[in-house]
Amino acid sequence: MRHFAAQPPIMAEPQHEVEPQLLNGDDLSEAREDADAPGCAKKKRRKKKRSKAAGAAGTSEAEGDGEAGGAGDVRKQLELQTLDDKEREEDGEEDGDEGDNSAGKKKKKKKKKKGLKVQTDPPSVPICELYPNGDFPVGEECEYPPSKDGRSAAWRTSSEEKRALDRANEETWSDFRQAAEAHRQVRASVRSWIQPGLTMIDICERLEDCSRRLIKENGLLAGLAFPTGCSINHCAAHYTPNAGDPTVLRYDDVCKIDFGTHINGRIIDCAFTVTFNPKYDGLLEAVRDATNTGIRFAGIDVRLCDVGETIQEVMESYEVEIDGKTYQVKPIRNLNGHSIGQYRIHSGKTVPIVKGGEATRMEEGETYAIETFGSTGRGAVHDDMECSHYMKNFSVGHVPIRLPRAKHLLNVINENFGTLAFCRRWLDRLGESKYLMALKNLCDLGIIDPYPPLCDIKGSYTAQYEHTILLRPTCKEVVSRGDDY
């Protein structure tokens, strides 16, 4: 305020105002030196600044009257507050700030926070590293369908008993979710690069390499659940190329990509169909709709035969026109969905995709692969072509083996695959050679079961969609659901 200029000279002596100005000048010079000074020296200077500021303010108070003393108090508080603010700012910027500016001026940088890892393109970071706290993305949670008498299943979500059961199995659900997230990211990557002209071997090996990285393959604790199926056109399932297979993906092909991942034997079985020619869009839509209908209808205490009847009704409601000819889409009656057990892709129950079949009911806590196959052919498949898929019989006991090569091969299978499915390419990858006779011997003894490709009539087209669902106590979780399908 300007009224201080009117006071008697003794209350406004110029020499008493010089010291605070010099103090401010000292602050500026010392602040420049702080940029290159070590931490201990900085603390000493800060202490010195505080004492100077306090001394200057005290001098003003002693030499002035009551009004001037009040101004000294305000100046003291402002200067101390300014010093505190500077100290807090410097403390946050000390790491990595010093020595960055050759002119000697302090270069302010924000302290970088150590964030979570993000996925690369193409994917290479394991899912467990993307979610280090183990909180993996939850699939699509759905309320169970109402019972036959119309009673809603909404009570399950609020039942404390069911919620306690759900929490008790959280570790199991977490394993499924980790494997499902790996599946989602792998198939998103596959869709970005798959194209006509690639060999089927290249497609499968590239997909499997990506899966192994994201699932962080670790023996039988984490890895691929079964070989990559890439069945084409009239071949509906169980085809993966053996070494030397020259098959190339073409523009007019209908290719079913069926692959699985697992954590601790908790298997994700999920499939989709790839086409490039839009003339097949109707066929894909029919099968996708049928699969989603089966998922909606599935639930605790639902009869398996009722699920099949519903799927058939939806799929047969579609007619598609391909190359000028109209086809009613037929469900392939001898292919089914199935229940999934730990380290066991088919654990006993089948989910038909036509009416009839078992009246067995789905039960709480079970896991199912709901998959449907549609065809423009006869709607039935048979074994055809060279076999590539194999799997150890889950319930086989001790069987004497006479061939040393067969004993060795069985040890390799037990160590690397256990009761999970495998293919000949995977044996080649492990360095095995000249094993076909030993493999045939194990099949003849019933220790290993062969799963040859399944085909409809030649000239027909088949499509497939599949998801894995968890029948949790509180709700139904479509754990493999993604933005794509």
> Is residue 166 left, alpha or beta, with left meaning phi > 0 and alpha meaning psi from -120 to 50?
alpha
Closest residue by Cα to residue 144 from 371, 454, 387, 471? 471
User: Strand 350-351 vs strand 476-478: parallel, antiparallel, or unpaired?
Assistant: unpaired
Alpha-helix runs per DSSP H in 126-159: 127-130, 155-158
Query: Which residues, in sequence order, are bridge partners of residue 254?
Result: 275
How far is the C-alpha of 100 from the C-alpha of 380, rounded, in Å? 73
The verdict on whether residue 338 carries a ligand-binding annotation is yes
The verdict on whether residue 346 carries a ligand-binding annotation is yes
Catalytic residue, chosen from 346, 364, 384, 449, is 346
Catalytic residue, chosen from 79, 181, 269, 477, is 269
Residues 224, 175: contact at Cβ < 8 Å?
A: no
The verdict on whether residue 358 carries a ligand-binding annotation is no
The verdict on whether residue 477 carries a ligand-binding annotation is no
Known active-site residue 346: yes
Residues 127, 218: contact at Cβ < 8 Å?
A: no
Q: Is 112 exposed, middle or buried (0-12, 13-18, 19+ CB in 10 A)?
A: exposed
Residues 142, 471: contact at Cβ < 8 Å?
A: no
Known active-site residue 27: no
Catalytic residue, chosen from 90, 166, 258, 432, is 258
Catalytic residue, chosen from 338, 366, 389, 477, is 338
The verdict on whether residue 258 carries a ligand-binding annotation is yes
Known active-site residue 408: no
220-240: burial string, b at 16+ Cβ within 10 Å, e else: bebbbbbbbbbbbbbbbbbbb
Catalytic residue, chosen from 79, 432, 466, 477, is 466
Residues 232, 253: contact at Cβ < 8 Å?
A: yes
The verdict on whether residue 383 carries a ligand-binding annotation is no
The verdict on whether residue 140 carries a ligand-binding annotation is no
Residues 473, 170: contact at Cβ < 8 Å?
A: no
Known active-site residue 87: no
Catalytic residue, chosen from 371, 432, 456, 477, is 371
> Is residue 129 left, alpha or beta, with left meaning phi > 0 and alpha meaning psi from -120 to 50?
alpha
Residues tagged active-site: 258, 269, 338, 346, 371, 466
Question: Which residue numbers belong to the known binding site for a divalent metal cation?
Answer: 258, 269, 338, 371, 466
Question: Which residue numbers belong to the known binding site?
Answer: 238, 258, 269, 338, 346, 371, 466
Question: Which residue numbers belong to the known binding site for substrate?
Answer: 238, 346
